[in-house]
Amino acid sequence: EDKVVQSPLSLVVHEGDTVTLNCSYEVTNFRSLLWYKQEKKAPTFLFMLTSSGIEKKSGRLSSILDKKELFSILNITATQTGDSAVYLCAVEVSGTYKYIFGTGTRLKVLA
Amino acid sequence: GAVVSQHPSWVICKSGTSVKIECRSLDFQATTMFWYRQFPKQSLMLMATSNEGSKATYEQGVEKDKFLINHASLTLSTLTVTSAHPEDSSFYICSASLADTQYFGPGTRLTVL
């Protein structure tokens, strides 16, 4: 059965800290891995990763994929209270547009 | 950028009634849309894949007679929760794909009394 597992489930840090969120997957026909940030409503897109070892970066956020070990990490440096959210990882199944979501990591950044 | 809208954003209904939720792609055509359900503090759970002009594909454990999906045009999919009960109370989110990116609607919060 295809599955996506995120860890930790929940994380509390102080402003300025760096956090690393993990996403591992077992998906039969992998196409891409995506990271989303979800605050109060629907998720907003952060990154899409398709190739191993190529880091994607956007401001203080970065992400990388390891297709051999079947995982991805999302790094957030110099965290701010506005980074508090649930971060979702999803894997797209090839040929289907179907996305399998992980459980999410709930990040809380304290001032 | 691509925009997906949902209507209504919030609905309260009595047990036993049916509720229709609309999902529209505003500036692009989507042959495939997806319906997700999210319980508080939990991840998104894919309910079904909505295909324009054909029957929806439901995930295991999702009752197709309870959650009716109609994808009548390339820009509109509807989810009807039939004979809603309190356990159907949830946050329902739709999405549509465009150029390898999934765009989510803002979600509809359903509360069944």
The band of B100, judged by pLDDT with boundaries at 50, 70 and 90, is: low
With CA atoms as reference, the chain A residue closest to B49 would be: A98
> Is a pLDDT exceeding 80 seen at residue B101?
no
Q: Which residues of chain A make contact with B102, given a CB cutoff of 8 A?
A: 34, 45, 90, 92, 97, 99
Residue B1, token pair as written in the block: 């950028």
How far is A111 from chain B, CA to nearest CA, in Å?
22
For residue A47, the SS3 value is: strand
**Beta bridge mates, B77:** B23
Distance separating alpha carbons of residues B59 and B69, to the nearest angstrom: 13
How far is B17 from chain A, CA to nearest CA, in Å?
25
Residues B46, A48: C-beta atoms closer than 8 Å: no
Q: What is the mean pLDDT of each run of 10 residues along chain A (111 residues)?
A: 91 97 94 90 86 93 95 97 94 80 92 94
Distance separating alpha carbons of residues A86 and A104, to the nearest angstrom: 6
Residues B32, A97: C-beta atoms closer than 8 Å: yes
With CA atoms as reference, the chain A residue closest to B37 would be: A42
Q: What is the pLDDT of residues B4-61, one digit of tens each?
A: 999 999 999 999 999 999 999 999 998 889 999 988 777 788 899 888 888 899 998 9
Residues B100, A45: C-beta atoms closer than 8 Å: no
From first CA to last CA, the distance across chain A in angstroms is 41
Handedness of CA A43, A48, A54, A58 (dihedral sign): negative
Nearest Cβ partner for A42 among B32, B45, B106: B106
Q: What is the pLDDT of residue B1?
A: 67
| Side-chain half-sphere CA neighbours of B79 within 13 A | 33
Q: What is the pLDDT of residue A100?
A: 86
Distance separating alpha carbons of residues B8 and B86, to the nearest angstrom: 18
Distance separating alpha carbons of residues B60 and A36, to the nearest angstrom: 24
Q: How far is CA B60 from CA A1, A20, B89, B110, in A?
A: 12, 33, 19, 22
Question: Which of the residues B6, B29, B33, B44 would you substitute to probe the A interface, choosing the one with the greatest number of A C-beta atoms within 10 Å?
Answer: B44
Q: What is the pLDDT of residue A82?
A: 96
- For residue A76, give every residue at least 6 positions away whose Cβ sits within 8 Å of its Cβ, in sequence order, or none: A18, A19, A21, A60, A61, A83, A107
Cα-Cα-Cα-Cα dihedral of B80, B42, A17, A48, to 10°? Answer: -50
Q: What is the pLDDT of residues A10-26, one digit of tens each?
A: 999 999 999 999 999 99
Distance separating alpha carbons of residues B87 and B111, to the nearest angstrom: 9
Q: What is the pLDDT of residue A97?
A: 67
Residues A32, B93: C-beta atoms closer than 8 Å: no
Residue closest to B94 by CA, chosen among B24, B25, B50, B34: B34
| Residue A93 DSSP label | E
Q: Which residues of chain A make contact with B47, given a CB cutoff of 8 A?
A: none
